[in-house]
Amino acid sequence: MRVWKFGDDIDTDAIIPGRFLTIYDPKELAKHAFEGTRDDFSKKAKEGDIVVAGRNFGCGSSREHAPLALIGAGVKVVVAQSFARIFFRNAINVGVLPVVCHKTDQIADGAKITLNIRKGIIEADGKKVKIEQVPEFMQGIIDAGGLVEYAKNMKEVPVCTKSHR
């Protein structure tokens, strides 16, 4: 896996510019991913590559198109110091795993990277960096391919036993 490195405050318009929001096919969206921000991404990203960023990744407009463009480009994991809440949720919904790592500054652009979710580490060009634990239920949604597929495959629906009045 190869790292595509970005800085802080990468908004959804940088991930997929607004003029492409009439497209819903992830492969077509991928052709425009990071257009105007990092034009080589759409031409060179490969299945299994990972986006690594600083703070507040996915801020801005709440659009599922952003993680869908990443899926179309073959990116199934984004590692960042922090995420905008709506991007975090949209990413999980469509099957992109958002991973929090407070030391992304130690991961270089183009690094060869191995992600070990269970051990809670990333190894990038021989350097080990800790990541926050990914909750098992969230990994289950990602493994299913997103929230819709996860819900389709649920054998039983969880029952809430507390009243929330």
Q: pLDDT per position in the chain (165 positions), as tens?
A: 899 999 999 999 999 999 999 999 999 999 999 999 999 999 999 999 999 999 999 999 888 999 999 999 999 999 999 999 999 999 999 999 999 999 999 999 999 999 999 899 999 999 999 999 998 888 889 988 888 888 888 766 555 565 544
- Category of 78 on φ-ψ map: left (φ > 0), alpha (ψ -120 to 50) or beta: beta
pTM: predicted TM-score of the whole model, two decimal places: 0.89
**Residue burial 104-120, b: 16+ Cβ < 10 Å; e: rest:** beebeeebebebeeeee
H or E stretch including 100?
strand 97-100
What is the spatial distance between Cα 10 and Cα 83, in angstroms, rounded to a whole number?
Answer: 10
CATH of the domain spanning 3-152 = 3.20.19.10
Of 139, 51, 142, nearest in space to 94 by CA:
142
Residue matched to tokens 């073959």: 74
What confidence score (pLDDT) does residue 148 get? 87
Which token pair is 33?
Answer: 């991913």
What confidence score (pLDDT) does residue 5 get? 98
CA 38 and chain centroid, separation: 17
What confidence score (pLDDT) does residue 151 get? 87
What confidence score (pLDDT) does residue 28 get? 97
What confidence score (pLDDT) does residue 98 get? 97
